Amino acid sequence: MTLGWAIVSVGRHADRRMAPAIRQAQDADLVAVYSRDRARAEEFARRHGARVAYDSLDDLLRDSRVDVVYIASPNHLHAPYAEMAATAEKHVLCEKPMALTVEDAVKMVQACRRHGVRLGVAFHLRHHPGHQEARRIVQGGALGTVALATAMWGVGQRGVVFPGPRTGREEWWDHPEMAGAGAMAAYGVHCVDLLRFLLREEVIEVAAVTDAHGSERPLEYLGVMALRFQGGTLGSAFCSRRIPDPRNDCHLYGSQGRLSVLDTLSMTLQGILEVTSRILTTSQTYQPPDDVGMYRRMVEAFERVVQHEEEPDASGVDGLRAVQVMVAYGESARTGRAVRIEPVEA
Ligand SMILES: NC(=O)c1ccc[n+]([C@@H]2O[C@H](COP(=O)([O-])OP(=O)(O)OC[C@H]3O[C@@H](n4cnc5c(N)ncnc54)[C@H](OP(=O)(O)O)[C@@H]3O)[C@@H](O)[C@H]2O)c1
């Protein structure tokens, strides 16, 4: 069965990755797009082959051809837009971070459950085949007990220490009340979710330092966090907008061996999986680089979830856990203290 998709907010990510991914995915039909500006919605719809353009979210949600709403709006709008979509009985695939507060994330999970719709979060790294293989290897025990797990996702421009403020439709990224965090909201939550995905363990404590600096630089360009997982693994994650030559890798060090995914924390499906352990030594390269691959796989996975009434990967609860870590990271960076994360039911 083909599902009708709608894109809510037609910014850079929707344009470069997700609209092409929906177009390329099997059994997905890009029905509708929403922008605050009608001309922009129409132009986007024409370019990506959507059937209809809306400048009213209410009108889009009344369109019976729409089954799934993909929310790619500024971060502070994820929660209200997801609740509107759920009330209209549309399934929701929401961008990360799922919400700015734990309370909003809980409400999103509850609203989708109440209205009988699925809530997924666009942690596309879960759809990299190397990460999926790494998760199987960890679960199979080839690394023994994992003691240390590290992940890094940084970007930057050569010669630029602090990129200047953004303008126009991207300005929201520089406002704490809209973005929620700086490098953490953009990249760090992906690191945290990838570590949770690989280890199948929850983060129970966070200690963070960042380069945020009062009102002059309220959002961080570089964040470093130490993580304690509930199974005893210790971790670290680095997220940045000021590292032009990053090693965007993840490493797991266990009692029986080591696993690395190299250059896979990216929007492009690429990189290498390497395992060196007592019972398994393997290396796998993912090429050629595919700019849309992980996103197409994510769309197709969400379609299966809707059609077979399965739990999404990542689910709303995974989104909630990442929000808890993001909020704890902010508190730790502000107070200079490690922050415990208590279980929250949704
Ligand atoms: N998973 C990933 O790999 C990935 C990668 C990049 C981004 N993302 C996520 O995707 C979302 C969008 O990111 P982006 O980089 O595409 O953003 P963007 O290009 O900066 O903007 C998104 C769109 O939101 C609308 N918008 C901007 N300011 C607004 C405001 N104040 N109120 C209401 N609407 C506003 C604008 O669309 P209109 O003016 O047309 O309405 C804008 O084009 C974010 O949540 C981000 O975290 C995920």
Domains of the chain: 3-123 (3.40.50.720), 125-290+316-340 (3.30.360.10)
If you measure from the C-alpha of residue 31 to the centroid of ligand 1, how many angstroms do you get, rounded to a whole number? 19
Instruction: Write the pLDDT tens digit of every residue in 238-264.
Output: 999 999 999 999 999 999 999 999 999
Region 28-40: what's the mean pLDDT? 98
pLDDT tens readout for residues 74-116: 999 999 999 999 999 999 999 999 999 999 999 999 999 999 9
- Which residue's CA is the nearest one to ligand 1's atom 22? 11
What's the one-letter identity of residue 314? Answer: A
- Reported as type and span, the H/E element at residue 5 is strand 3-8
pLDDT, tens digit (0-9, with 9 covering 90-100), for 214-242: 988 999 999 999 999 999 999 999 999 99
Write the residue with the smallest CA distance to atom 20 of ligand 1: 170
Q: What pLDDT shows up at residue 82?
A: 98
The yes-or-no verdict on residue 172 having pLDDT over 90 is: yes
Q: Please give the order of strands across the beta sheet that includes 203-210.
A: 281-290, 269-277, 257-262, 250-254, 146-154, 234-240, 222-229, 203-210, 339-340
- CB neighbour list of residue 316: distance below 8 Å, 6 or more residues apart: 94, 98, 105, 108, 109, 112, 119, 120, 121, 346
Question: For the chain, what is the radius of gyration of the CA atoms?
Answer: 20
Average pLDDT of the chain is 97
- Best substitution site from 7, 9, 17, 75 to test ligand 1's pocket, by max atoms within 8 Å of Cβ? 9
Contact by Cβ (8 Å): 198, 138? yes
- Residue 310: pLDDT above 90? no
Q: How confident is the model at residue 309 (pLDDT cuts 50, 70, 90)?
A: confident
State mean pLDDT over 177-194. Answer: 98
pLDDT in tens, 276-307: 999 999 999 999 999 999 999 999 999 999 99
Q: Is 36 in the pocket of ligand 1 (CB under 6 A)?
A: yes
* Dihedrals phi, psi of 220, to nearest 5 degrees: -75, 145
- Site to probe by mutation for ligand 1, drawn from 37, 104, 169 as the one with most ligand atoms within 8 Å of Cβ, is 169
Return the closest-CA partner of residue 280 out of 144, 76, 171.
Answer: 144
- Residue nearest (by alpha carbon) to ligand 1 atom 39: 36
What pTM was computed for the model? 0.98
